[in-house]
Amino acid sequence: MEPLEADHMSQISFQVKELALRCNVSADTVRYYTKIGLLQPERDSASGYKRFDEKDMKRLSFIRRAKSLGYTLNEIKQMIEESRKGKSPCPMVRDLIQRRIQRHRHRLEEQMELQKRMEEALARWAAMPDGIPDGDSVCVLIESIENPCQSHREEDNQIE
């Protein structure tokens, strides 16, 4: 690209709706990101409109990529602030995602345990008749499951 063309490219600017269309987000998203400081458009002195440029388009693309990896807007703002200071946010980015992976893995394991308990209960209930509440009973299906209160009391007694 010739220097004149490159200079011309940097002069390209967009209004909120144009940037939103180009980046496949809503205009409200662009406005919100501007409000919280993730985007910092120039103000057109003639019209008073906020004008976004290629840099803002790249920043918006970065925000969307970071969000797709699970980073919060607060975390993204910290990354951008580190970058603006001339510091690499990469160590923070790695640390955040590593901790998030560990939390997600733990949640997944819990969800798999729940899935297994539900499937086992459903299989056990297939052979059971529907019960009629008798004043003490609510649903015999659920009541057939091991009593968590009872099992804890038994464990407590074994400790003593």
For each of the domains in the chain, give its residue range(s) and CATH number, in order of start. 1-87 (1.10.1660.10)
CA 81, 83, 88, 92 torsion-angle sign: positive
Q: What is the pLDDT of residue 127?
A: 87
Answer yes or no: pTM beyond 0.75. Answer: no
**Amino acid at site 45:** S
Block residue for tokens 């010739």: 2
Give the model confidence (pLDDT) of 96-153 as tens digits: 999 999 999 999 999 999 999 999 999 989 988 888 878 788 888 888 888 777 655 5
**94 is written with which tokens?**
């790695």
Least confident of 2-16, 20-34, 62-76, 103-117: 2-16
Residue-level pLDDT at 157: 61
Question: Is pLDDT at 43 greater than 90 in this prediction?
Answer: no
